[in-house]
Amino acid sequence: MTVASLLARLGVRSKPGSADANNLNRKMLALAWPSLVENILHTLLGFVDLIFVGQLGPAAIAGVGLGIQWMFTLQVLFMGLAVGNTALVARAIGAGDAREAERIAKQSLLLAATLSIGIALIGFFFSNEIIRLMGADPTVTEIGSGFLQIVATFSISLGVMFIGGGTLRGAGDTRTPMLITAFINAINIALAYLLIFGNFGFPRLGTNGSAIATTIARTIGASLILYVLFKRGKFLRLNWRGGWGFHRDAIKRILNIGGPAAAEQIVMQLGFIGFSAIVLLLGTNDLAAQQIAFNIAGFSILPAFAFGVAALTLVGQNLGAKQPEHAHESAWHALKSGTLWMCVMGVGFFVWRGWLVSLYTRDPEVQRLGEMLMIFLAFAQPAQAVSIVLGNALRGAGDTRATLVITFIGIWLIRDAVGFLMGIVFGLGLFGVWIGWIADFALRALLVYWRFHAGKWKTLRV
């Protein structure tokens, strides 16, 4: 089955025609649009930061890009916890059990605080060794390790934002995380402008200024999320008293879902790092072009992530309310909308690829390579929509072991292996490496669709 025929089939199966369908669409959009805006703001933050860093040269782009990738690898434990937390909070809210939702949220925050200590120690003491493992030259290693050391040391703020934001989304509140993200983005951009370049009398810290700005903004964001959770929560309000001891049954349930989700993220991030290591064999310009493409790609997947959040929340809540068919329809409606918007983004990336890449660099070779990668991004949009939206629906149901296996197959057996074979062994360069990238998303889309269509996720006990 091709991706095109898959999407055609979706159009038949998710055709609205009733009051229930219209109500479902309203609920889905109410969850999706704040998530879309929040993701746009998150991506805009990275977009602006990399534009600032890009003024310092290709080595700065490559070094910060590697630092960010390794930070993603270290924070996957937070991501896994957030998946388990959100899915279980959504089920508890769907079942009308606010006390259980509060208990899950508190246990997740405790786990995040514990894990942040390990991430901080690894980042503070071993950042240089971690970046050096990539085989980067001394200049790129120094830049990347400095960035990684700062953001990893203060990872507790990131953990609170992941768990706190996930708790709010599981309860059905996607608007508050959006507003907090908007506020801290403004702070981050302002601080990055001041600290990277030393404007208005501030010290010129270069790429480390970007890391410090990000850390300060995240700390403010984490504080605001905690304030909302414990003082102003509309859908779910936590109590400071009680529930802070480690509860083995709750932790087991969180890890039962979050463990495979964390493992999936580890597989994914190590795969990304392996992919960058393959590109690094081609040279710094190739890696800089790829970092630019990945940064722009963050915009292309925003609709899929937004509707994926809606699918995760609605699937979890409907399964908690013992309504699996409503959960099924929620995911189909989310996929249809997410795919439409991503296709629109793909057209824009294809048409304006030259202008978009030129925002980051004036280096002619980096510009040429970046424009080529934009074409890959444009054509991958439908497959990315299927893999992201339906993947999140499966996670909302707690079927994280299946998504782990699918991600491993796609990234390691297809993206990295095929990319190395085509780009390095067969000598096709960056073009050949990215054949593996687009093949990965095509295969994952088909496997995720098959797993969702089989329907086993409807009867999972979590």
Residue 18's region, left for phi above 0, alpha for psi from -120 to 50, else beta, is beta
| Domain limits for position 324 | 3-459
Condensed to tens digits (0 to 9), the pLDDT of residues 83-121 reads 899 999 999 998 889 899 999 999 999 999 999 999 899
Query: What span, in angstroms and rounded, lies between the C-alpha atoms of 285 and 283?
Result: 6
Q: Is the dihedral of CA 243, 245, 247, 252 positive or negative?
A: positive
Which of helix, strand or coil describes residue 70?
helix
With beta carbons less than 8 A apart as the criterion, state whether 50 and 360 touch.
Answer: yes
**Closest to 346 measured CA to CA, from 297, 310, 395, 412:** 297
Condensed to tens digits (0 to 9), the pLDDT of residues 209-233 reads 989 998 999 999 999 999 999 988 7
Core vs surface per residue 259-288: b (16+ CB within 10 A) or e: bbbbbbbbbbbbbbbbbbbbbbebbbbbbb
Distances from the Cα of 233 to the Cα of 102, 224, 240, 287, 352, angstroms: 11, 11, 13, 44, 42
Query: What span, in angstroms and rounded, lies between the C-alpha atoms of 109 and 82?
Result: 9
Predicted confidence at residue 21, as pLDDT, reads: 64
The runs of H, that is alpha helices, within 352-426 are: 353-358, 364-379, 381-396, 400-408, 417-420
Query: What span, in angstroms and rounded, lies between the C-alpha atoms of 189 and 179?
Result: 16
Predicted confidence at residue 368, as pLDDT, reads: 93
Distances from the Cα of 11 to the Cα of 6, 14, 382, angstroms: 9, 6, 13
Our count of domains for the chain comes to 1
Condensed to tens digits (0 to 9), the pLDDT of residues 390-440 reads 999 999 999 999 999 999 999 999 999 999 999 999 999 999 999 999 999
Half-sphere exposure of 198 (CA within 13 A, CB side): 5
DSSP 242: S
Predicted confidence at residue 391, as pLDDT, reads: 94
Query: What span, in angstroms and rounded, lies between the C-alpha atoms of 7 and 387?
Result: 12
Residue with tokens 């963050």: 298
**Closest to 336 measured CA to CA, from 38, 115, 7, 42:** 7
Condensed to tens digits (0 to 9), the pLDDT of residues 146-203 reads 999 999 999 999 999 999 999 998 888 888 988 998 899 899 999 999 999 999 989 9
- Which residues 6+ apart lie within 8 Å of 459 measured at CB? 324
Q: Which two tokens stand for residue 232?
A: 């102003």
pLDDT at 11 > cutoff 70: no
Predicted confidence at residue 131, as pLDDT, reads: 86
Condensed to tens digits (0 to 9), the pLDDT of residues 113-159 reads 999 999 899 889 998 888 888 777 888 889 989 999 999 999 999 99
Query: What span, in angstroms and rounded, lies between the C-alpha atoms of 347 and 381?
Result: 9
* pLDDT band (50, 70, 90) for residue 43: low
With beta carbons less than 8 A apart as the criterion, state whether 144 and 64 touch.
Answer: yes
DSSP 95: T
Query: What span, in angstroms and rounded, lies between the C-alpha atoms of 37 and 356?
Result: 20
- What mean pLDDT, rounded, does the chain reach? 87
Percent of the chain beyond pLDDT 70? 94
Predicted confidence at residue 361, as pLDDT, reads: 83
Query: What span, in angstroms and rounded, lies between the C-alpha atoms of 200 and 219?
Result: 24
Instruction: Count the neighbouring beta carbons within 10 Å of the beta carbon of residue 292.
Output: 28
